Structure 1
Amino acid sequence: MEEQVLISYKGVDINQQELGVLKGVDFELQKGEFVYLIGKVGSGKSTFLKTIYGELEIAEGEATVLGNNMRKLKRKHIAPLRRKLGIVFQDFQLLTDRTVHDNLKFVLQATGWKRKYEIEERINEVLKQVGMENKGYKMPNELSGGEQQRIVIARAILNKPEILLADEPTGNLDVETGRMIVELLREICAQGSAIIMTTHNLNLLGEYPGKVYRCESHRLVPVTEG
């Protein structure tokens, strides 16, 4: 099978508020890969993800995401890039004033979906995919943490992203619920989205192996698999 490189970073330096966070980053993500980013709080994991979706500029080096040169990416091209990315945040960021269904509908309409029946069909598809097909009518505050995270994942995969970025998706969940979320992410990966997941929970790496990079001492270092 031909390799398809979705992200390529070579010698990349990343700064935040004038401070050097990561230096000399070499990183590659291929289609269908599941990659973990591990490291202490403040070591640069979330900062690294922000450069992928254009939230933070890259100071030095070569960086390509889905064919976009991230050193030269114009502001107007950030939104089209983000449509090809799914982002799962630890703190959910669901709109609390509307139902699960309307949270998903809002994202589809914001990303250019027009036909009502297509919108409904896609919402039903993703809710089924994350095992929440009967929860569309609920408000976010009526759901458990694990259920809310499933809805966040449903929202992230609405536009069938080529890359899914999951920033500590199990951070606020108990161990068993966290496992179920990782299993769900593995299923999504098997269906074609490459996934980068940051985590503190090193037990998950043993149970659900993947490629591992560690952020430490301003570096992003590949960790030997297995």
Structure 2
Amino acid sequence: MTTEQNIIKSFDRVADQYDKQRRKLIPCFDDFYQIAVSLADTPKQQPRILDLGAGTGLLSAFLLERYPQAAVTLVDLSEKMLDVARERFRQRPQITFLHADYLTYEFSSSYDLIVSGLSIHHLPDPDKQRLYQKVFALLDPGGIFINADQVLGHTAYLEFLYKNDWRHKVESSGLSQEEIAAAYERTKLDQMATLEEQLRWLNHCGFSDVDCVYKYYNFAVMFARKNKG
């Protein structure tokens, strides 16, 4: 079974419970998502937003609270995760759902905002770099990319601290042993890169104003803006 198939199988299995578990699996849940949304700053009332690895639409839901008239495209490998998103947004006709691999899919539009939440760390590093180049090309001048994701500690000791903190918090979160075991199993799909590497890749693509605006152990919110030219 390929890595992509394993990812699909893993997230299909948890789709119905995914949102309910988020607050317990992300110790910094409120800051993590609220800061990502606050960075998605555009003067447009109806921005075009692309959500990469959108899953159940959790990040898009927060963005739609800020931009209720936004035209949002959600793309994900897992059909079952997208089914949850379709139900969540059933009364919003301006939402588009794409069951596809965002790395290879040929998008026909450009966007004001491109976001991703807890998805890109599943890609091998060369694919992360390819994706960042693709994101840069898809953004309109002045557009913003926000990647709220997990990063690798840049030393073995820091990575140990990150994982140890997360395990301690997850095991005292109230999740069942079965849910915790499933979460640990999903971490085997992770292919995290360090924050420093990813900021460098974004700069190399041509983005300006590249920064990590928030970090809690291995949870980081990265920001990059495309110059207006």
Structure ranking higher in strand proportion: 1
Structure ranking higher in helix proportion: 2
Q: Which fold has the larger relative contact order, with Cα–Cα distance below 8 Å and residues 6 or more apart in sequence?
A: 1
- For Structure 1 versus Structure 2, the TM-score category normalised by the shorter chain is 0.3 to 0.5
TM-score, normalization by structure 2: 0.35
TM-score, normalization by structure 1: 0.36
